[in-house]
Amino acid sequence: MRLSSFMSFLIAVPLLLRATESSYFRDVQPILNKNCTSCHQPASKSSGLDLTTYGGFKAGGKRGPAFVAGSPDESLAIKFMTGVLKPSMPFGAPVLAAKEIDTIRDWIKSGGKDDTPREVTSIEPTVYHQPPVITAVRFSPDGKLLAVSGNREILLHNADGSGLTKRLQGKADRILSIAFSADGNLMVAGGGTPARFGEIQFWDLREGKLLRTAEATSDTVFGASLSPDGTKVAVGCSDNTVRVFETSTGKELYKISSHENWVLATVFGIDSKRFVSVGRDRAAKLIDANAGQFLENVNQMRGELAAVARHPKKDEIVIGGEDRVPYLYMMDRARNMKVGEEATLVRKLDPQDGAIFALDWSPDGKHVAVAGAAPGVNIYDVDTGARIASCKGHTAGIYAVAFSPDGTRLASGGFDGQVRLYRAADCTLEKAFVPVPLAAQIAGNGGAQ
Ligand code: HEC
């Protein structure tokens, strides 16, 4: 008894001395962003829980609300973080510092209020105190630039990682996918601000100018892809639709509602007349891009799908997701094949060590790069299915992977906030860098631009 009252005294003193109440926006969300949102986010809601927004935190996951205002000890988030409920969170990582748990506890205790600013008032260059999670990387078709997602911006780097050349600021908090037109003049980015709006940005790459934007749904959009003829952009949405926009006007042409869950990635066929969309309903769906009509399912359904990439010269795709296996499929089913037959399956690659989040096909068609929850990129020979190299160095999950246009280089990025450039032939690490200027660096050298 005595010991425990002494202990509560020790705990109470710092609580009493703390000057201000915890703020959700200033204190709590950054802790969740750093430790939890790699698994609890719109694109992969472990146990149904999205911790990227106040709304998601409050709504909770499969077990119900993640916090109970006023009662930290009854709050699921606290119970999971302190080991009262198992598995301990963050899953597979050490428990948070007591100070961080206390911050969240205090905030819940004082009522668990949302103080997120409602409006983006101006577009100031984002100031980074830590490297942001990287969700998209893509090389420009001329091979000179690497576009990398930032917070409320896209960063253009020299393709060899030798420097940041431009910061392109937009309204969307997150950029989840980047695509280029074949001539490299147009860059399209898809993303948005979680639980507020989805946005597609159309950039003039040469001028670094935002040509137009299109908004869709009240949540981020996923897996934007541009048709090879440059006329259309397809995006996946959290309202289970795929939406297609006209590049020249930004106008929404149509939406398709044949998926039964979030649509996370899209890719067009060679002739731009059809595309495939994949999502959490486990389906890869072939869509007539002109008529906006569902044609058929490409795959046999196994796990939730998060990524799709196409062979550069023929209508063959690779898909991957929750069940960790990359599947190579023909987009088309011969007339005499029945739906559900696996005759369109070309090949399965090795099961990965974690769920698949990102795929790319090399420009010569010979290789496929696979990345995801396990912190490495595996490169496969598509003809033999043999793994030819494993790119190491990332310390956490990878959300984006891309081959350079000449196929010699591979870029990857993810939760650890570092872009890594590898020699694609053997995964030799050429460069690792944080793609954003960090606040400390700005103070030191007067800015990284
Ligand atoms: C590496 C992935 C990962 C990270 C990081 C992670 N979680 Fe989880 N979380 C999971 C998984 C997987 C489950 C489901 C566990 C189960 O049901 O067995 C889960 C479940 C939960 C649940 C229960 C949700 C429900 O209603 O079922 C809560 C609450 C939770 N996590 C909070 C957190 C918090 C807070 C953090 C950060 C401090 C965090 N998690 C970090 C993977 C993760």
Nearest to 368 by CA among 391, 346, 344, 385: 385
Single out the residue of 137, 60, 226 nearest to residue 418, CA to CA.
137
CB neighbours of residue 125 within 10 Å: 15
- Identify the band that residue 18 occupies on the pLDDT scale cut at 50, 70 and 90: very low
Instruction: Please state the atom number of ligand 1 nearest to the C-alpha of residue 397.
Output: 1
- Both tokens of 364, joined, read 């010569």
- Residues 6+ away with beta carbon under 8 Å from 60: 48, 49, 66, 67, 76
Q: Are 158 and 404 in contact (CB under 8 A)?
A: no
User: What does the alpha-carbon distance between residue 354 and residue 253 come to, in Å, rounded to a whole number?
Assistant: 36
CB 148 within 8 A of CB 413: yes
- The whole-angstrom distance between residue 152's C-alpha and the CA centroid of its chain comes to 14
pLDDT of residue 71: 96
Contact (CB, 8 A) for 322 and 355:
yes
Q: From 340, 345, 352, select the one nearest 376 (Cα to Cα).
A: 352
Say what percent of the chain tops pLDDT 90: 81
Task: Please say whether the structural domain 137-445 has been given the CATH code 2.130.10.10.
Answer: yes
Q: Where in the chain is the domain with CATH 2.130.10.10?
A: 137-445
Q: What is the DSSP string of 363-374?
A: TTSSEEEEEESS
Total-model pTM: 0.67
Selection from 221, 161, 116 nearest residue 413 by Cα: 161
Give the residue-averaged pLDDT of 56-81. 95
Percent of the chain with pLDDT over 70: 90
User: In whole numbers, what is the pLDDT of the chain averaged over residues?
Assistant: 90
Instruction: Measure the CA–CA gap between 274 and 219, rounded to whole angstroms.
Output: 25
Picking from 151, 215, 139, the residue whose alpha carbon sits closest to that of residue 180 is: 139
* 3-state class (DSSP) for residue 336: coil
Q: What is the pLDDT of residues 175-192, one digit of tens each?
A: 999 999 999 999 999 999
pLDDT of the residue at 120 = 47
The answer to whether 228 and 289 are in contact (CB under 8 A) is no
Distance 304 CA to ligand 1 centre (A): 18
Average pLDDT over residues 72-82: 96
Burial pattern 158-176, b for ≥16 Cβ within 10 A else e, equals ebebeebeebbebbbbbbb
CA of 71 to the centre of ligand 1 (A): 19
Helix (H, G, I), strand (E, B) or coil at 33: helix
Neighbours of 194 (CB within 10 A): 22
> Across residues 105-122, what is the average pLDDT?
80
| Residue 395: other Cβ atoms inside 10 A | 10
Indicate the SS3 state at residue 4. Answer: helix
Query: Are the CB atoms for 145 and 137 separated by under 8 Å?
Result: no
Which atom of ligand 1 is closest in space to residue 38's alpha carbon? 5
Closest listed residue to residue 371, CA positions, set 362, 359, 363: 359
Structure tokens at 25: 């926006």
C-beta of residue 308 within 8 angstroms of C-beta of residue 351: no
Beta bridge partners of 261: none
Q: Are 191 and 177 within 8 A, CB to CB?
A: yes
CA quadruple 47, 50, 56, 57: dihedral positive or negative? positive
Per-residue confidence at 336, pLDDT binned at 50, 70, 90?
Answer: low
Q: Which of 157-171, 295-309, 336-350 has the lowest mean pLDDT?
A: 336-350
Mean pLDDT to the nearest integer, 244-264? 96
Q: pLDDT tens digit string along 398-412?
A: 999 999 999 999 999
Distance in angstroms (rounded) separating the CA atoms of residues 353 and 325: 9
Q: Which residue has the higher pLDDT, 126 or 134?
A: 134
In this prediction, residues 5-29 reach a mean pLDDT of 59
Q: How far is the CA of 46 from the centre of ligand 1 (A)?
A: 6
Ligand 1: list residues with CB < 6 Å.
35-36, 38-40, 46-47, 49, 60-63, 66, 76-77, 80-81, 87, 89-92, 96
How many angstroms does the Cα of residue 417 sit away from the middle of ligand 1? 21
Is there a cis peptide before residue 437, judged by omega within 30 degrees of 0?
no
**146 pLDDT above the threshold of 90:** yes
Asked whether the beta carbons of 304 and 279 are under 8 A apart, the reply is: yes
pLDDT confidence of residue 8: 45
Tell me the pLDDT tens digit for each residue of 165-178: 999 999 999 999 99
Atom 32, ligand 1: which residue's CA is nearest? 77
Task: Determine the pLDDT at residue 13.
Answer: 39
